[in-house]
Chain A
Amino acid sequence: MSRYYANRNFAIGSTIVLLLLVMMIISLFWTPYDPNMIHDNHILESPTREFLLGTDYLGRDILSRVMYASQTVFIIGGGTLIISSIIGVSIGLISGYFGGWLDEILMRFVDAWMTIPGTIMVIVFVASFGRGMTQTLIAISLTGFANFAKITRSKVLSLKESDHVLWARSVGVKRGRILVAHILPDIMPTLLVVGALRFSSAILTEAALSYLGLGIQPPDASWGNILTRAQAYILSNWLYAFIPGLLITLMVIGFNLISDGLNKIYSEEGAY
Chain B
Amino acid sequence: MYYLKRTLTAFATIFFVTVFLFLLLQVVPGDPVLSRIGMDEMEFNPRLVEQLTREFELDKPIIERYTNWIFRVVKGDLGNSFNYSNYTVNELIAQRITTTVLLAFLSLILVIIIGIPLGILLAKTEDTLGGDLLNAFSQIGLALPNFWVAIIALWLFGSVLGWFPIRGRIDFNNLALTIRSLILPVVTLSIGGIASVARYLKTSLIEEKEKDYVIVAKSKGVADSTIMKKHVFRNSLIPVTTVIGLLFISLMTGSIIIENVFSLSGLGSLLITSINANDYPVIQGVVLYYSIIVVLTTLLLDVLYVMIDPRIKLGKRRD
Point out residues on A near B: beta carbons under 8 Å. Answer: 112, 115-120, 123-125, 127-130, 150, 153-154, 157, 200, 204, 207-208, 211-214, 227, 230-231, 234-235, 238, 241-242, 244-245, 248-250, 252-253, 256-257
Contact = CB atoms under 8 A, between A and B. Distances in A.
Contacts of A127: 25, 275, 283
A88 to B, nearest CB: 15
Given A112-B13, A120-B287, A130-B28, A235 B159 contact: yes
Interface of B: 13, 16-17, 20-21, 24-29, 139-140, 142-145, 147-149, 151-152, 155, 159, 249-250, 253-254, 256-257, 260-261, 271-272, 275-276, 283, 287, 290-291, 294-295, 298, 319
A212 B27 contact: no
A154 B140 contact: no
Contacts of A200: 143
Given A123-B256, A127-B25, A212-B260, A116 B17 contact: yes
Given A115-B17, A231-B151, A252 B24 contact: no
8 contacts: A112-B13, A117-B250, A124-B283, A241-B151, A241-B152, A241-B155, A245-B149, A256-B142
A208 B147 contact: yes
Contacts of A227: 147-148, 151
Contacts of A119: 253-254, 256
A120 B253 contact: yes
Nearest to B140: A253
B36 to A, nearest CB: 16
A208 B25 contact: no
Given A115-B298, A150-B319, 10 more contacts: A123-B275, A128-B28, A208-B147, A213-B272, A231-B151, A234-B151, A234-B159, A241-B148, A245-B145, A245-B151
- Label chain B's interface by main secondary structure: helix
* Closest 5 pairs between A and B when the two form their complex, measured CB to CB: A245-B148, A252-B143, A119-B253, A253-B143, A127-B275
B54 to A, nearest CB: 22
Q: Which of A204, A212, A227, A249 has the most chain B CB atoms closer than 10 A to its own CB?
A: A212
Q: Which of A127, A130, A208, A231 has the most chain B CB atoms closer than 10 A to its own CB?
A: A127
Nearest to A127: B275
Contacts of B16: 112
A235 B155 contact: yes
Nearest to B278: A127
